Amino acid sequence: MKKQCFAAVDLGATSGRLMLAHVSESGVEMEEVCRFPNHLIQVGEHLHWDIYELYRQVVEGLKTIASQGVQLTSIGIDTWGCDFALLGKDGGLLRLPYAYRDPHTLHAAEAYFREFSREKTYAETGIQVMDFNSLFQFYTLRKNGDAAFAQAEKILFMPDALAYLLTGETVCEYTVATTAQIVDARRKCLSPEVLRSVGLTEDSFGRWVCPGTVVGPLTPALQKQTGLGAVPVVAVGGHDTASAVAAVPAKSSRFAYLSSGTWSLMGIETGRPLINADTERLNFTNEGGVCGSIRVLKNICGMWLLERCREKWPDIPYPDLIREAEGATAFRCLIFPDAPEFAMPDDMEAVIRAYCRKTAQAEPDSRAALVRCIFESLAMRYRQVLERLDSLSGEKAEALHIIGGGSRNDLLNQWTADSIGRPVVAGPSEATALGNVLLQCMAADPGLKLSALRSLLAESLPLKSFHPQTSQAAHWNTAYRRFEDLSSAERN
């Protein structure tokens, strides 16, 4: 593998960044070119994304790369899912994209399913129901007589919209399209039946592409503006989680992953979707993955629990909180992290204490006890979801790979290993940008296999392994039975 350089545009719901990767046979070296905020813009009662500002920041980053004399092989873009831009017949964007947090889709799923079958929609798409899924955004815009939606020539999901601004080419990338709940999960293409329900057709979207496909070169104007020349833009795992999972440094195919951050996403890779009454009841989703895979996963409330508590302790360093939690009494109290009351509380600490009272447990009597309660409860929830994934897939994952920012929490990683009774491999923390780069590598050299690139990461990255402590197994098993009792009344 010859040394090459790739630009990875990685956009989240609160910030974005442009990463420069140097790839060779010895591994991948990443450097941050720029980082910038991604602000929601409120106009009247609606929330929008400033796609032009995101575009401007990306272009400025590309100009910085060019000024360093770097010869780029390609550029890839990944973003959050569900949101989209509307393109007019003249090639211009019709307005700023709505943000998934916009209140216009409140109860939209409920309204949609009064007209169309919930069971058939899940059977077709395999996607969990959330009000902000693109399907329900389309439904809402149509019902509201939205002029931009009615006049749109093309609908471009966020990574595809930015790729369009860079290249002038309209595409519809598979992984991000699946988050919209409009893709036939088995055939891995847009579902004509689901699209008809909201007045759309396959022609409403750009050229269908899979990760690793070249979208096109930078426009002549951008070639001149950036100084980069005709660098191609590659469709990577357009949905950021798809790119993140591509960078799981697994040496075996029998692994589970946990993308750990404010929210946790736990899942497995499969060759086919898992869609049945059990997956629907347990609210598992089937999102498109790279290289023809399906990511069967579950959304879990993650470090959000601690982040909201930390609003009261702004001056306490994170390492100090972890150290305090380690010294607190084990299994004093547990919570079910995905209970509704933890979704958006004004005072997370008070809500946790109230939950413990409601469930006849001792309340956490200190900051350390509160943090320990959160970490132990998350470790229990990870075990519960992992065991359900084992049961649904018919195979037991040999190890759990934790990627993302949460992979740096050694204490929670060890407790997770103790809880699940299996090895945990932590890292990389920059999985999304790395996965973005790996897909670009495969586009540049079609002979490369993802398994080989994952092995390269496993050998070259500073990963940490955590193994279950047999001396703690009985304690965790006893506590898990308590956790199961707490969660038995929850839907999923």
Which one of the listed residues 102, 131, 160, 240 is annotated catalytic?
Answer: 240
| pLDDT given at position 491 | 55
| pLDDT given at position 26 | 86
Average model confidence (pLDDT) for the chain?
A: 96
Evaluate if residue 39 carries a pLDDT over 70.
yes
Evaluate if residue 441 carries a pLDDT over 60.
yes
Evaluate if residue 492 carries a pLDDT over 60.
no
The answer to whether the beta carbons of residues 88 and 152 sit under 8 Å apart is yes
Q: Percent of the chain, pLDDT > 90?
A: 93
Evaluate if residue 374 carries a pLDDT over 90.
yes
198 — pLDDT class (breaks 50, 70, 90): very high
Residue 108's CB: how many other CB atoms inside 10 A?
21
Closest to 299 measured CA to CA, from 284, 317, 318: 284
263 — pLDDT class (breaks 50, 70, 90): confident
Name the β-bridge partners of 37: 15
| pLDDT given at position 343 | 82
DSSP string, 114-174: TTS-HHHHHHHH-PPP-TTSHHHHHHHHHHTT-HHHHH-SEEEEHHHHHHHHHHS--EEEH
All domains of the chain in start order, with CATH: 4-241 (3.30.420.40), 250-427+462-492 (3.30.420.40)
Q: Based on the residue annotation, tell me whether 240 is a catalytic residue of this protein.
A: yes
Helix (H) / strand (E) element for 195: namely helix 192-196
Where do we find the tokens 């895979």?
A: 293
**Phi and psi at residue 205, to the nearest 5°:** -120, 170
What is the rounded average pLDDT of the residues 276-299? 96
CA 13/CA 49 separation, integer angstroms? 9
| pLDDT given at position 490 | 65
Task: Give, in order, the Cα–Cα distances in Å from 469 to each of 383, 420, 422, 466.
Answer: 15, 11, 10, 9
DSSP string, 254-301: -EEEEEESSEEEEEEEESS---SHHHHHTT-EEEE-GGG-EEEEEEEE
Task: Give, in order, the Cα–Cα distances in Å from 227 to each of 58, 69, 216.
Answer: 14, 10, 17
Closest to 38 measured CA to CA, from 57, 55, 13, 19: 13
The answer to whether the beta carbons of residues 7 and 62 sit under 8 Å apart is yes
pLDDT one-digit tens code per residue, 132-157? 999 999 999 999 999 999 999 999 99
Secondary structure letter of residue 94 according to DSSP: -
What is the rounded average pLDDT of the residues 41-49? 95
What is the rounded average pLDDT of the residues 310-333? 95
pLDDT one-digit tens code per residue, 443-473? 999 999 999 999 999 999 999 999 999 999 9
Task: Give, in order, the Cα–Cα distances in Å from 180 to each of 80, 132, 135.
Answer: 11, 9, 6
Question: Is-above-0.75 flag for pTM?
Answer: yes
